[in-house]
Amino acid sequence: MTPDPFPTLPDSARLWLLALDADPDPATRTRLAEGLAAILGQWRHKGQAYLGDFALLEGRILAVAEPSLAANPSGCAIDGMLRKVTRLAGELGLGLIDPASTILARVNGFLRAIGKPDLEAALENGTLDPGTPVLDLALYNLGDLRAGRLESPLAATWIGRKFSLAAPGPPPRSR
């Protein structure tokens, strides 16, 4: 990931990652940015104003960061923001990937959504292997994103544990 999408926010800033089911076209991307700016510009709960910012990573990973919610979380404020963002995506015809039922992996250089029920078949047919990068949309703070924890080899995730996959070893040495 380059460059830092939130250079003015601290590593401790709370982070939410939402994956769109496809890259939005330029006009939709503009409308999405305008809508997100409006939502985050008006983000308040019980008199508390929040200073959220957003970025679109890799064309389809919506990142929202906010510095004060890491220390003083408000579930109602977070739920309200996420409902509005989800509604905006729907109004723009953008689907959100449900991380409870789908993983996002980098296959042949492209992000691909794979349903959890299809993981075994994807491993068997070679679509996925122990080294396939899998995205972790549950990162908690901006520091995790900056540290490169968005992607991990499949073998190092819960999928690797579930299917007893060994992490890929170093490449063989040439003689």
pLDDT at 73: 80
Q: How much is the average pLDDT of 132-140?
A: 96
Closest CA to 62 of 21, 108, 11: 21
Tell me the whole-structure pTM to 2 decimals.
Answer: 0.90
Say whether pLDDT at 9 is over 70. Answer: yes
Q: How much is the average pLDDT of 151-164?
A: 95
pLDDT at 172: 60
pLDDT tens readout for residues 66-78: 999 878 888 999 9
pLDDT at 69: 87
Question: Between helices 75-91 and 26-41, what is the axis angle to 10°?
Answer: 150
Closest CA to 16 of 59, 63, 49: 63
Domains of the chain: 14-91 (3.30.70), 102-162 (no CATH)
Closest CA to 72 of 47, 54, 55, 53: 47
Give 142's DSSP letter: H
pLDDT tens readout for residues 23-53: 999 999 999 999 999 999 999 998 889 999 9
Closest CA to 63 of 6, 134, 133, 22: 6
> Distance from first CA to last CA of the chain, Å, rounded?
35
